[in-house]
C-alpha cells in the first residue's frame, strides 16, 4: 500500500517501510509513528532485528503489551537480515507495529523491491525539497519559533542548510537561545556565528580535539568560555554539527566508502577531517555523544543548578572517555 507523507499521520497499519533521499523528513515521520498511542517504544539497529521476535513473544505480567519497533538503517541489511525483514513483512502482527527505515536505499536492491510489492506493507517515499520549497518551509519554521531574521540572515540560513530540515530546526532553536527572547531582528552576522560561517578559530580546534579524543579539548574550552567569552550555545552548535557529520559519514561508509564523503555532504576541511576523526569512534558512541549534546543543551535552558561552563566541561570530559560515552544518557 503506497502512502504519501501526509497520509502517514492517520495511518493504522502494523508494518511500515519508509525510504527516500530526505532522511530528516523520513526519520521525523518514523518518530511520529513510533510515538503514536500507548505502547512500548524500541529503536533498533538492523543488526538487532532478532529482538522483534523476542519482544513479540514476551508477555507481561498483566497480559499482552503493545510494542512499536523502529529499525533505523535497513538499507545496510545483509542477506540474512533481508530475509528476516521479508518474513516479518509477510506476517500478521498482534500488538506490534514495525517501522522499517531505509534512507538512500538503492532502488535495485531486493529488499526495496520486495517491500514495495508486499500487500500488507504501507510504504512511503520521502523526496528532497526543492530550494524554493525548503525556503517556504523554513520561513514557516522561523515564524513558529517566534524569531525575526533580516533578509540576509534568512538567505544565509536557507542556503547553508538547504534540504536539511532537522539541522535547520536545531539551528533555529539555538538562535532562540542565543537571542534570549529579546525583541529585535537577528542579522546575518548573528546567524553566521551559529551555523559556522564566523566564529573564533579555537572553536574549530576544540571540535577537532574532542573528535580526536585529545585532552587538549578541556584547555581549549576554557579559552573559549573564559578568555574569548564565546557563547556556550555557539560551542554546542559547532560540536553537534561535527558529531552529526561523523555519524553520517560512518553511516554511508559502512555500505559505500568510496562515495561516503559526498553522500554525507562534507565540504571544505570537513572532507579531510571527518573521515580521519571518525576512526576513533564506534557508531553507537557517536549516537550516544549526540544525545549527550542534546541533553546538555536542555540543561543550558535552565534545567540545571550547575553553571553553563561546568555543564560544557562535564560534557567534554565525558566525550573524551569512550566508556563514559557508552553509559546511559539519562
Positive or negative: CA dihedral 280, 285, 288, 292: negative
Between 156 and 15, the higher pLDDT residue: 15
Tell me the C-alpha to C-alpha distance, in Å, between residue 286 and each of 121, 158, 251, 280: 31, 27, 11, 10
Q: Which of 15-24, 121-130, 158-167, 303-312 has the lowest mean pLDDT?
A: 158-167
pLDDT digits (tens, 9 = 90+) for 3-13: 999 899 888 89
Choosing from 76, 111, 126, the residue where a domain stops is 126
Residue 311: inside a domain, yes or no? yes
Residues 69 and 173 in one domain: no
Q: C-alpha grid cell for residue 6? A: 501526509
Are 208 and 277 in contact, with CB atoms under 8 Å apart?
Answer: yes
Residue 328 burial class via C-beta count within 10 angstroms: exposed 0-12, middle 13-18, buried 19 and up: exposed
DSSP 199-219: --HHHHHHHHHHHTT-THHHH
The DSSP bridge partners found for residue 102 are 19
pLDDT score of 219: 94
pLDDT score of 181: 57
Which residue stretches of 91-150 are H helix? 110-117, 131-144
Mean pLDDT for the chain? 84
In whole angstroms, give the CA distance from residue 303 to residue 158.
Answer: 31
Residue 144: inside a domain, yes or no? yes
Tell me the C-alpha to C-alpha distance, in Å, between residue 276 and each of 212, 286, 324: 9, 14, 22
Between 98 and 271, the higher pLDDT residue: 98
Q: Long-range contacts of range 49-52, CB-CB < 8 Å, 24 or more positions apart?
A: 49/81, 49/84, 49/85, 49/88, 50/84, 52/88, 52/96, 52/98
Residues 104 and 13 in one domain: yes
pLDDT score of 79: 93
Choosing from 68, 92, 126, the residue where a domain stops is 126
Are 50 and 58 in contact, with CB atoms under 8 Å apart?
Answer: no
Residue 330: inside a domain, yes or no? no
Instruction: Please state the separation of Cα 253 from the chain's center in Å.
Output: 17
Residues 107 and 161 in one domain: no
pLDDT score of 247: 84
Q: What pTM value is reported for the model?
A: 0.60
In the chain, what percentage of residues exceed pLDDT 90? 31
Residues 160 and 25 in one domain: no
Residues 265 and 176 in one domain: yes
Residues 121 and 227 in one domain: no
Residues 166 and 217 in one domain: yes
pLDDT digits (tens, 9 = 90+) for 120-178: 899 999 987 888 888 999 999 999 888 889 999 899 888 877 777 777 887 887 787 76
Residues 165 and 114 in one domain: no
In whole angstroms, give the CA distance from residue 234 to residue 302.
Answer: 17
Q: Kindly indicate the confidence band of residue 325, based on its pLDDT and cuts at 50, 70 and 90.
A: very low
Residue 181: inside a domain, yes or no? yes
Tell me the C-alpha to C-alpha distance, in Å, between residue 37 and each of 41, 60, 67, 97, 164: 10, 18, 10, 11, 28
pLDDT digits (tens, 9 = 90+) for 177-210: 766 655 678 888 878 777 655 566 788 899 999 9
pLDDT at residue 97 is higher than 90? yes
As for how many domains the chain has, the answer is 2
Determine the structural domain holding residue 33 and report its residue range.
2-126
Give me the mean pLDDT over the 82-107 stretch: 90
Residue 220: inside a domain, yes or no? yes
Choosing from 102, 126, 150, the residue where a domain stops is 126
Residues 112 and 136 in one domain: no
The DSSP bridge partners found for residue 40 are 67
Residue 283: inside a domain, yes or no? yes
pLDDT digits (tens, 9 = 90+) for 34-54: 998 888 888 898 888 888 888
pLDDT at residue 99 is higher than 90? yes
CATH number of the domain encompassing residue 11: 3.40.50.300
pLDDT at residue 62 is higher than 60? no
Are 127 and 22 in contact, with CB atoms under 8 Å apart?
Answer: yes
pLDDT score of 311: 92
CATH number of the domain encompassing residue 239: 1.20.272.10
Residue 150: inside a domain, yes or no? yes
Residues 120 and 178 in one domain: no
pLDDT at residue 327 is higher than 50? no
pLDDT at residue 298 is higher than 60? yes
Residue 13: inside a domain, yes or no? yes
Write the DSSP symbol of residue 308: H
Residues 25 and 148 in one domain: no
Residues 117 and 146 in one domain: no
pLDDT digits (tens, 9 = 90+) for 237-257: 888 888 888 888 887 787 778
End-to-end CA distance of the chain: 38
Q: C-alpha grid cell for residue 173? A: 532553536
Are 21 and 128 in contact, with CB atoms under 8 Å apart?
Answer: yes
Amino acid at each position: 500500500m503506497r502512502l504519501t507523507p501526509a497520509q502517514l499521520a492517520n495511518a493504522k497499519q502494523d508494518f511500515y517501510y519508509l525510504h527516500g533521499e530526505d532522511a530528516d523528513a523520513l526519520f521525523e515521520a518514523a518518530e511520529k509513528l513510533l510515538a503514536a498511542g500507548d505502547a512500548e517504544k524500541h529503536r533498533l539497529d538492523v543488526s538487532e532485528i532478532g529482538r522483534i521476535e523476542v519482544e513479540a513473544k514476551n508477555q507481561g505480567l498483566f497480559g499482552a503489551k503493545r510494542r512499536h519497533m523502529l529499525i533505523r538503517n535497513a538499507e545496510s541489511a545483509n542477506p540474512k537480515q533481508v530475509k528476516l525483514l521479508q518474513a516479518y513483512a509477510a506476517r500478521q502482527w498482534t500488538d506490534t507495529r514495525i517501522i522499517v527505515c531505509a534512507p538512500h536505499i538503492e532502488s535495485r536492491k531486493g529488499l526495496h523491491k520486495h517491500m514495495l510489492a508486499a500487500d500488507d506493507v504501507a510504504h512511503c517515499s520521502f523526496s528532497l525539497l526543492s530550494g524554493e520549497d525548503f525556503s517556504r518551509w523554513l520561513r514557516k519554521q522561523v515564524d513558529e519559533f517566534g524569531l525575526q531574521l533580516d533578509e540576509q540572515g534568512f538567505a544565509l540560513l536557507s542556503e547553508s542548510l538547504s534540504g536539511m530540515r532537522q539541522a535547520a530546526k536545531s539551528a533555529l532553536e539555538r538562535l532562540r537561545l542565543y537571542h534570549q527572547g529579546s525583541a529585535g531582528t537577528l542579522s546575518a552576522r548573528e546567524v553566521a556565528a551559529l551555523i559556522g560561517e564566523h566564529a573564533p578559530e579555537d572553536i574549530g580546534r576544540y571540535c577537532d580535539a574532542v573528535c580526536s579524543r585529545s585532552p587538549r579539548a578541556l584547555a581549549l574550552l576554557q579559552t573559549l568560555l573564559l578568555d574569548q567569552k564565546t557563547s556556550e550555545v555557539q560551542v554546542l552548535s559547532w560540536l553537534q554539527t561535527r558529531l552529526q557529520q561523523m555519524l553520517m559519514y560512518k553511516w554511508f561508509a559502512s555500505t559505500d566508502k568510496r562515495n561516503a564523503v559526498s553522500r554525507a555532504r562534507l565540504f571544505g576541511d570537513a572532507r579531510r577531517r571527518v573521515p580521519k576523526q571518525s576512526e576513533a569512534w564506534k557508531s553507537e558512541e557517536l549516537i550516544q555523544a549526540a544525545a549527550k549534546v542534546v541533553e546538555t543543551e536542555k540543561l543550558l535552558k535552565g534545567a540545571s543548578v550547575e553553571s553553563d561552563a561546568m555543564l560544557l566541561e562535564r560534557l567534554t570530559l565525558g566525550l573524551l572517555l569512550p566508556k563514559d560515552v557508552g553509559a546511559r544518557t539519562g
